[in-house]
Chains A and B, each alone.
Chain A
Amino acid sequence: MAARNRPVDVVIVGFGWTGAIMAIELAKAGISVLALERGADQDTVPDWAYPKVLDEVAQSARNGLLQNLSKTTVTLRHDKADLALPYRQIGSFKPGTGVGGAGIHWSGVHSRATPEELRLKSHVTQRYGAKFIPEGMQVQDWGVSYDELEPHFDRFEQVCGTSGKAGNLQGVKQAEGNPFEGPRSREYPLPPLKDPPTSVIFAKAARELGFHPFSLPASNASRPYRNPYGCDLGPCNFCGFCSDYGCINYSKASPQTTILPALKAMPNFSYRTHAHVLRINTSADGKTATGVTYVDAQGREVEQPASLVILAAFHLHNVRLMLSSKIGKPYDPETGEGVIGRNFCYQLISSVNTFFDSQTYINQFMGAGGVGQAIEDFNADNFDHGPLGFIGGGVMWGRQTGNGPVRGIPLPEGAPKWGSGWKQAVKDNYLHTGRIEAQMSNMAYRGAFLDLDPTYRDAYGEPLLRMTLDWQDNDLRMSEFFNEKLKATARTMGATSFSGRMLKRGDHWDTRAYQSTHINGGTSMGTDPRTSAVNKYLQSWDVPNLFVLGANVFAHGIGANPTGTVGALAYWAAANIRSTYLRDPGPMVRA
């Protein structure tokens, strides 16, 4: 018999970026808000105190900030005919845990989805015709427009103190910004970070090739900054410990640096750590959420009643909770019916190490997670796909994120793998190695989905989430297109040699090698309850007092990094809950 807590107005499952955003925005409406976090509490000091946190073994090799896979994980397979096996070691993607969630160990790249991506099906159909969409690709419109989201993209950037340079201010193109971006209502809150050597060389080469390089927007502060909540950020010092690490000096935007100081001061807000939510409880007719049940630190089941439930955990857990709580119809790849688990997507990354001569100093020990120069000439539909015959696109960049010995020192092909030869190669190359990458959208396909694993269960006795995903012909042909751009760029940069992982036809998703944590989809937003789990306000079609946040609401993959869009969608949902739902609880869109 579960213990029962006093009811609250709002219970939020997960206390990372989206949970923190929703918590502060709803707490400002004066209602009682409780956030439940499965992990521990954590903050800059003491948890990421200098110099202790700058420990590549503890953080990068042993994944100090990531989900403990021995307690709960996922199973993986490429195809529904395969047997899925558990993800027992962190590899391809890195779910976080603890207060702040993945908002602690992210890199800081802070981009927006493009206007076309948010209505990709309509756009592609209009420009190329419906037949351009290959059989089995389930691309669809998101139901929300870029113009609707713009104030919320802006809000999240203002909160994060994002460093960047606008390329399109209210429709007017701006020099040195990204000319392909959707119109912005105003400039970034902070100017771009200073370019490290890789970015300088990349931008020069990109310009020579006729591309349009711009400073990648970064939520690594370029200046001291006070955000709209009054929270302070310090300027980034390019120490190179962003991705995998908590920021030592309040430079990287995280819930802790940008929201929690103001949120924790609000008397109608509270949070509990070590509260692992097992399920969303619903009324007998299944149409109303009555709260959630979680396991506390002592292993007791506790029921937390609430009038409004916000699902704000990481992607995987949001989808799993929808399935295990039996909310919404599970997706069936045989029939194509059902929505929970549908349109599970990822991103593709091709990564090229560029080796320079001994006079070209890259100094890869320094950098910042989000700093870099990028091009979006080949993102979304910024280029003519007609003759190319694939859908989707991506971002190419020359970033310099910081690298150290434990994280792996790339060496040119043919360099010795061990011994004094290896040491000499490291000595010759470490200061002269850069990296350029293409990050590409992964479209939604009928055969890529999430469901509950029939075999494996976690430490709480719950079935693991099962991922079924592999690269498809459309995506790999896109990657081959990008590979040529990467090679041309590397050559133009003057690299003496370059090598890396460039995805091509015949390649499969390698779940062992890290590529990004940008998994998305599974509880798509949309306009049609037959193809989406939540409406344009991220409200469950089936349970109107349940809102679902996170990249899991993406209708399909995008080219840019997802965090900016995830945050914007959370602000969008919060604004509409406040302006509409709280006044008139019920379905905000009539299906």
Chain B
Amino acid sequence: MGLVAALAIGTGVVIAVARHVPGPGLSPAIASRTPDPKHGAYVAVLGDCVACHTAAGGKPLAGGVAFNTPVGAVWSTNITPDRDHGIGRYSLADFVRLMRQGVRPDGRRVYPAMPYTAFAKVSDEDLQDLFAYLTRSVAPADTADRTGPWPPHWPLAFWNIAFHQDRRFEPDPHLSAQANRGAYLVQGLAHCGTCHTPRGVGFQERDLDGRTNLFLSGARLDGASPVNLRGDAGDGLGRWNEADIVELLATGKSIHSAVLGPMGEVVADSTQHMTPADVEAITVYLKTLGPAPAAEGRATFAASGATLDEIKAGRQTDPGGRIYMDSCAACHHLGGEGAGRSLPSLAGNSVVLASHPDSLIAVILRGDREPGAAAAPSRMAMPPFAWRYDDAEVAALATYMRQAWGNRAPPVRPSQVREARRALGIARSRPPG
């Protein structure tokens, strides 16, 4: 009897928690403020709404982009003002609750693939303007949201209790106003940590506001390894000056490297359209971040000519090195230095040096293409090499690159390449075309 009662009470608590609809946390003053949809459009750029909410070939902001979470696929939703399929019936409070708590007006939870953990930092004013933009300036689209029975959404209430902090951004008194603006953007709208901060057992970001040096220290996500954005001289931004970072965000490339994978969309849809002041602020803030925690496998870089000397002397016998000379050196050069902004340097490249080699393996297997920003429209591409090399060869090549020219990062195992092929759906096959 006691067990039944306990179960009943427990179930009741679960249901109560799962159904609890929190408040939006809006200041009462917002009611008398006139929203600015034009600024809201810029907030949408800062938040890169379009990257996740516009499907390839779909209507703008009508959702339908798939995300593979550890528990299954979820799809982004229609955030146009369509009254039946979008947010046309939302109040400002409904919208803000969703942005900060991940709870829809009907009480249904959204997966934190929608980065409400970051958006909780965003100010009332910015959210009000964003809401005004989405509901007044965006064309309604009658695209129905895609959902399935799995994964369930109600457990997210408990996930929120465990991992979510519904806290607005707090300026750091030790930082300049400019750096605090950058921190506000990085932690909030730009939600950089969604990809760049390592995740914990509950797939939660292990730091949401930069209190620890885990914040933005590089991660693994969906077949990629978003790089370390902290001050490490090896795999981080330690050797980048502010102008390099500004240039990367504005054009997708710099003298050090070019963006890869989903970061291309971020540049194309968001960072290149940010005001110079905001890009500068982000850069200044990133440069305040100290090195990531020392960990086994954390890469280092100290430029060295030994690799090139070895090649020139004809002493290059490493199988990975041979592959590098055959397939990579034509563009990236024997010294790994690449060429300016056109052909990325591999020496000291944070993708090459990343703790997890997922992005490096992925780019070898399937190649990649630059986003093509307005200021640098060339969408230069690296061709795929999955067809040419087997798992052991790709691993040998990746290992070689991680240990050449002064790069020092742990080796890559063939099993990691095999896993990457499986995750990316890339078989070894004959050359394309």
Contacts and interface: CB of A to CB of B under 8 A. Distances in A.
Contacts of B331: 50, 234, 237, 248-249
A233 B342 contact: yes
B340 A223 contact: yes
B343 interface: yes
A250 B380 contact: yes
Interface in A404-462: none
Contacts of B342: 224-225, 232-235, 250
A422 B380 CA distance: 43
Interface string B360-375: 0000000101001011
Given A52-B433, A261-B372, A231 B378 contact: yes
Given A50-B330, A232-B376, A261-B372, A224 B340 contact: yes
Q: Which of B253, B339, B432 has the most CB of A within 10 A?
A: B339
Given A52-B433, A261-B372, A44 B341 contact: no
Interface in A218-241: 223-226, 229-235, 237, 239
A248 B330 contact: yes
A231 B342 CA distance: 10
Interface in B317-363: 326-327, 330-331, 333, 339-343
Interface string B113-145: 000000000000000000000000000000000
A249 B343 contact: yes
B14 interface: no
A106 to B, nearest CB: 19
Contact of B378 (A47, A239, A250): A250
B274 interface: no
B382 interface: yes
A371 to B, nearest CB: 17
Interface in A260-314: 261-262, 264-265
Contacts of A49: 367, 383-384, 432
- Report the interface size class on chain B: 20 to 34
B381 A224 contact: no
Contacts of A224: 339-343
B369 A230 contact: no
Contacts of B384: 49
A328 to B, nearest CB: 38
Contacts of A233: 342
B59 to A, nearest CB: 17
A264 to B, nearest CB: 8
A210 interface: no
Contacts of A223: 339-340
A261 B378 contact: yes
A501 to B, nearest CB: 33
B83 interface: no
A233 B380 CA distance: 9
A250 B374 CA distance: 19
Contacts of B380: 44, 232, 234, 250
B127 to A, nearest CB: 31
Contacts of B22: none
B322 to A, nearest CB: 14
Interface in A33-72: 43-47, 49-52
Given A224-B339, A239-B330, A229 B377 contact: yes
A187 B350 CA distance: 37
B369 to A, nearest CB: 7
A237 B378 CA distance: 19
Nearest to B367: A45
A130 B376 CA distance: 53
A226 B378 CA distance: 9
Given A226-B376, A232-B376, A249-B330, A50 B383 contact: yes
Nearest to B333: A237
A489 B155 CA distance: 85
A51 B327 contact: yes
A257 interface: yes
B146 interface: no
Contacts of B376: 226, 230-232
Q: Which of B253, B341, B379 has the most CB of A within 10 A?
A: B379
B173 interface: no
Contacts of B381: 43-45
Nearest to A236: B339
Contacts of B341: 224, 226, 232
A181 B374 CA distance: 36
Given A45-B383, A52-B433, A237-B330, A230 B340 contact: no
Q: Which of A47, A52, A223 has the most CB of B within 10 A?
A: A52
Contacts of A235: 339-340, 342-343
Q: Which of A46, A223, A225 has the most CB of B within 10 A?
A: A46
B57 interface: no
B343 to A, nearest CB: 5
A226 B250 CA distance: 15
A265 B268 CA distance: 12
Contacts of A262: 377
A46 B343 CA distance: 17
B379 A52 contact: no
A231 B330 contact: no
A417 B134 CA distance: 76
Contacts of B314: none
B70 interface: no
A266 to B, nearest CB: 10
Nearest to B381: A45
Interface in B380-394: 380-384
A46 B384 CA distance: 9
B431 interface: yes
Contacts of A237: 330-331, 333
A46 B367 CA distance: 10
B378 A257 contact: yes
A261 B252 CA distance: 14
Contacts of B433: 46-47, 52
A261 B379 contact: yes
Contacts of A47: 433
A46 B383 contact: yes
Contacts of A51: 326-327, 330
A233 B376 CA distance: 11
Interface string A101-136: 000000000000000000000000000000000000
A47 B367 CA distance: 14
A45 B431 contact: no
A265 B340 contact: no
A229 B378 CA distance: 9
Contacts of B378: 230-232, 250, 257, 261
B367 A265 contact: no
B388 to A, nearest CB: 8
A238 B382 CA distance: 19
Nearest to B433: A46
Given A51-B327, A231-B376, A261-B379, 15 more contacts: A43-B381, A47-B433, A49-B367, A52-B433, A223-B340, A229-B377, A230-B374, A230-B378, A231-B378, A232-B341, A232-B378, A234-B339, A249-B331, A250-B343, A265-B377
Q: Which are the 8 A-B pairs with shortest beta-carbon distances?
A: A224-B340, A49-B383, A45-B381, A234-B342, A261-B377, A224-B342, A232-B378, A261-B378
28 contacts: A43-B381, A44-B380, A45-B367, A47-B433, A49-B432, A50-B331, A50-B383, A51-B330, A52-B432, A223-B339, A224-B343, A230-B374, A231-B376, A231-B378, A232-B380, A234-B331, A234-B339, A235-B340, A235-B342, A239-B330, A249-B331, A250-B342, A250-B343, A250-B380, A261-B372, A262-B377, A265-B372, A265-B377
